[in-house]
């Protein structure tokens, strides 16, 4: 007969965060459906719910994998920031766009940032050191796209041009860099 091992404080915290995370995903999907019952300001279609569901459930699965990949909290938080940044980048571009409006094709360039993160993560085999470098590259790519948009005038005529592109590009680049810092910290702790 085996003795069950009592869960540690870390295990309980991880389990609590897991429940909170999946509850948040469910809440984010239910909120627009409820809001549509009470106001005409929210008009989601079936494709909007599918899009949101794929993004949010996909992010949840990636977060689950990150928790299993390392017990280091710097790694986990860095992965969480990276996942959150990908979700926000997709969500903002799908809803209103960063460069001009959501219909501006230049916004598709931001998919390249997400693709670079995915490829970098796979190539580095989710190693903290490789992920740190990947996040630095994502920050540089994010800033480069924003700079090109401003210099080329890709969103001219849009409301808040070019302030929105500058602020959002800077904000996203800083979040990518924060994730890079956390992965670097995890790599140092592993060494």
Q: What is the pLDDT of residues 149-191, one digit of tens each?
A: 999 999 998 888 899 999 999 999 999 999 999 999 999 999 8
118 part of a folded domain? yes
135 part of a folded domain? yes
**pLDDT tens readout for residues 98-132:** 998 889 999 999 999 999 999 999 999 999 999 99
4 part of a folded domain? no
Report how many domains make up the chain: 1
1 part of a folded domain? no
- Rounded to an integer, what distance in angstroms lies between the CA atom of residue 43 and that of residue 37? 10
Centroid of chain to Cα 62: 10
69 part of a folded domain? yes
The DSSP code sequence of 81-126 is: HHHHHHHHHHHHHHHT-SSSSTT-GGGGHHHHHHHHHHHHHHHTTT
- Among residues 64, 56, 55, 93, the alpha carbon closest in space to that of 172 is found at 93
Residue 76 corresponds to which tokens in the numbers above? Answer: 């986990």
**Residue 187 near residue 128 (C-beta atoms within 8 A):** yes
**Residue 135 near residue 177 (C-beta atoms within 8 A):** yes
147 part of a folded domain? yes
**pLDDT recorded at residue 49:** 93
**pLDDT recorded at residue 104:** 93
**pLDDT recorded at residue 68:** 87
In terms of Cβ atoms closer than 10 Å to its own Cβ (0-12, 13-18, 19+), residue 152 is exposed
Higher pLDDT, 11 or 61: 61
**pLDDT recorded at residue 94:** 86
Domain that holds residue 179: 9-190
Model confidence at 8, pLDDT cuts 50, 70, 90, reads low
Residue % of the chain over a pLDDT of 70: 95
**pLDDT tens readout for residues 31-76:** 999 999 999 999 999 999 999 999 999 999 998 988 888 889 999 9
Residues in the chain: 191
89 part of a folded domain? yes
2 part of a folded domain? no
């Amino acid at each position: 007969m085996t003795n069950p091992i009592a869960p540690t404080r870390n295990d309980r915290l991880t389990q609590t965060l897991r429940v909170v995370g999946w509850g948040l995903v469910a809440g984010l999907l239910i909120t627009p459906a409820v809001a549509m019952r009470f106001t005409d300001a929210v008009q989601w279609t079936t494709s909007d719910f599918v899009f949101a569901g794929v993004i949010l459930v996909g992010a949840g699965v990636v977060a689950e994998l990150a928790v299993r990949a390392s017990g280091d909290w710097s790694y986990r938080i860095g992965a969480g920031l990276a996942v959150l940044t990908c979700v926000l980048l997709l969500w903002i571009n799908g809803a209103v766009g960063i460069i001009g409006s959501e219909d501006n094709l230049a916004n598709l360039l931001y998919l390249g940032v997400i693709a670079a993160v995915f490829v970098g993560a796979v190539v580095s085999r989710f190693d903290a050191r490789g992920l740190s470098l990947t996040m630095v590259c994502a920050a540089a790519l994010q800033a480069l796209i924003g700079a090109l948009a401003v210099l080329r005038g890709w969103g001219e005529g849009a409301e808040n041009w070019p302030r929105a592109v500058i602020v959002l590009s800077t904000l996203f680049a800083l979040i990518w860099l924060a994730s890079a810092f956390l992965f670097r910290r995890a790599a140092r702790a592993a060494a």
